[in-house]
Structure 1
């Protein structure tokens, strides 16, 4: 999301021009917090008591619907477990602001743009909901966004979170990739992934699972190239210009930024291959 200098370059859902400094607050870690969390690879949603170091301690489970597997040959992947936005909206801290506008939708999402949040990597996974809530508050209050820019976020432990409101399964118009918010989904990796930084395997596996599911809904092979039309001239392409991108693309392909960092960008070919396998493609 944000270049190394710390200045964000995002746009609202109408692709207006915005920039500013990210607002991520470190909070004092409590001994534990009870949050409903869906972890990648699990078909149940359990209440986990997360300790200060992010290690989960299981509380009594509650059943949740297992992922629905598509018909054989459809090249669709199951929906991965995704923590609802209500979890981070109600994380400990000041009350979260309300979104400024109702969700907007496209006909489908045919590409996934990958971002990083350019924030510290040393957070405990137990603190990820609070980090997301603070990021959301900064974008709403300090920068005038109408909601969180990203459709999804993923922490270093591989937990996926619903970001922007409107329904994870729907093609919600985000505010993550200026000029190319329409017909795309944005996922942000919590942390900074510049050259030489380790990218957790759990994080890349989660991005692959998300891409496989979302692109499968539109019948898109994650290894494919897709054509998108720029909606404004603040991107790398003049408004109205058709441009081609990988179906799973780094933010920097569409905007003049280093996001999502050299380290995470280098992992995208493997993420595309993994997502294709999850869709059952040869």
Structure 2
């Protein structure tokens, strides 16, 4: 089902009507040349990769490319992009970084190369914008000011015709600085709840427009949407139902959700307006594959970095996920448009319509997800799926928009709470997080009172 661009009628707040309706997307340079944005608040350094080793005379056809050690401006997250989003990077990507203000270099760290499965559906305006690039997953490395990169093609990719490139063309290393915490930012730990929810301050037009999408749930400019008791959550749900449609409201209590303003989203980066699908029939669970070397107090910084990488580096209209969860169980609003609304994301290629994406910050192939994160997924799913009458233990049908498991147009039966790998051949959300989804379904149903 096609999403629609929000009009003034789609934002249920008088304040939103006075704000710009169609905010234009920021101009973005192509990946062919080195690109640097202003460093405040945050920025991206984009450096072209060059041939390495004995094959450097092959130029773009060299099977190993990268950068030698070099000094750069401060950054905290890295990733590699290339020109054609339909080209896979078949090989290994590794980086070494130097902690800011020190002489200490890390060992080589692998970057997950398969990121095209987190993307807008084929044939959509977002996917066909002409700005989208191929990209690896992002990797959080912490505050750094030195970098070294190497990309090696797989052995079977090296035997090509003369002049053919075994690696994607136009590869760049993206060095993302999340910027300092804005004065209004939510603090995940060490600050009283009244302080966290109550800071508003001055709003620019773009921030106010994004915040207005949640005005039925929290004041304009709030940094968090407060939790509701189950009784109040049920009462709100019943109040929104058509007259005569009364039923037992199977819904979990609304959890606390940090808003985009709370994690410091720069709303000028994303494309203007909101895009919706018709409903939310399923939730796909993901991991960001960005590593686990972050503190919970850094959660907002990690999200600002992923947001910038998705939009500025990868060319998406906004961050891909509808919600994000850190390892301490804090829940964050992802793509703009309203946490209670069916916002169209770019999280599960081919299955973004009528679904939502929940990503846990980190990598969970060999690391066990925290109990707090698993509980947060269940509570969030119980509430959001409950708004649309979905049973977390049940199954549903979604129509494929095209992918590597199901052809376009096929109606696919999926668990209402699924892992990314259920809809696309991928390791996401990691073996150990995927193994927790049975517990998530059971807990979410219990939170709904089923």
TM-score by length of 2: 0.53
| Contact 1:152 1:162 (8 Å CA) reproduced | yes
User: Does 2:423 match 1:254?
Assistant: yes
Q: Taking structure 1 as reference, are residues 82 and 122 closer, same or farther at Cα in structure 2, changes over 3 Å only?
A: same
Which one of the candidate residues 254, 264, 271 is aligned to 2:433?
264
* Deviation at residue 131 of structure 1 after TM alignment: 0.5
Give the greater-gyration-radius structure (CA): 2
In structure 1, the residue corresponding to 2:428 is in which secondary structure?
coil
User: Does 2:143 match 1:28?
Assistant: yes
Q: Taking structure 1 as reference, are residues 203 and 66 closer, same or farther at Cα in structure 2, changes over 3 Å only?
A: closer
Q: In 2, Cα distance between the equivalents of 1:263 and 1:4?
A: 19
Unaligned segments of structure 1, at least 5 residues: 38-47
User: Does 2:415 match 1:228?
Assistant: no
1:94-113 to structure 2, matched below 5 A, reads 98-113=269-284
Which one of the candidate residues 314, 317, 320 is aligned to 1:143?
314
Q: Report the equivalent of 2:248.
A: 73
* Deviation at residue 235 of structure 1 after TM alignment: 4.0
TM-score by length of 1: 0.83
Q: In 2, Cα distance between the equivalents of 1:279 and 1:36?
A: 31
Q: Report the equivalent of 1:45.
A: none
Q: Report the equivalent of 1:244.
A: 413
Q: Relative contact order (alpha carbons < 8 A, sep ≥ 6): 1 or 2 greater?
A: 1
In structure 2, the residue corresponding to 1:11 is in which secondary structure?
coil
1:193-249 Cα distance to aligned partner (Å, 9 max, x none) = 004x221000000000111011111111100011000012x2411110000110000
Which one of the candidate residues 106, 119, 122 is aligned to 1:11?
119
Unaligned segments of structure 2, at least 5 residues: 1-109, 145-178, 199-217, 219-225, 236-246
Q: Taking structure 1 as reference, are residues 60 and 113 closer, same or farther at Cα in structure 2, changes over 3 Å only?
A: closer
Q: In 2, Cα distance between the equivalents of 1:103 and 1:148?
A: 12
| Contact 2:227 2:254 (8 Å CA) reproduced | no
Which one of the candidate residues 207, 211, 217 is aligned to 2:387?
217
Q: Taking structure 1 as reference, are residues 145 and 19 closer, same or farther at Cα in structure 2, changes over 3 Å only?
A: same
* Deviation at residue 11 of structure 1 after TM alignment: 1.8
Q: Report the equivalent of 1:190.
A: 361
Q: Taking structure 1 as reference, are residues 144 and 66 closer, same or farther at Cα in structure 2, changes over 3 Å only?
A: closer
Which one of the candidate residues 157, 166, 188 is aligned to 2:337?
166
1:160-201 Cα distance to aligned partner (Å, 9 max, x none) = 000000000000010000000000000000000004x22100
In structure 1, the residue corresponding to 2:234 is in which secondary structure?
coil
| Contact 1:189 1:203 (8 Å CA) reproduced | yes
* Deviation at residue 88 of structure 1 after TM alignment: 2.2
Q: In 1, Cα distance between the equivalents of 2:194 and 2:353?
A: 41
1:73-126 Cα distance to aligned partner (Å, 9 max, x none) = 311122211000112235xxxx67521242211111010000000112120111
| Contact 1:12 1:146 (8 Å CA) reproduced | no
Q: In 2, Cα distance between the equivalents of 1:59 and 1:80?
A: 13
Q: Report the equivalent of 2:346.
A: 175
Q: In 1, Cα distance between the equivalents of 2:375 and 2:185?
A: 21
Which one of the candidate residues 190, 202, 212 is aligned to 1:56?
190
| Contact 1:6 1:118 (8 Å CA) reproduced | no
User: Does 2:257 match 1:82?
Assistant: yes
In structure 2, the residue corresponding to 1:26 is in which secondary structure?
strand
* Deviation at residue 59 of structure 1 after TM alignment: 7.8
| Contact 2:287 2:429 (8 Å CA) reproduced | yes
| Contact 2:326 2:373 (8 Å CA) reproduced | yes
1:111-144 Cα distance to aligned partner (Å, 9 max, x none) = 0000000112120111111111111111111111
* Deviation at residue 34 of structure 1 after TM alignment: 6.9
RMSD of aligned residue pairs (Cα, Å): 2.8
| Contact 1:113 1:186 (8 Å CA) reproduced | yes
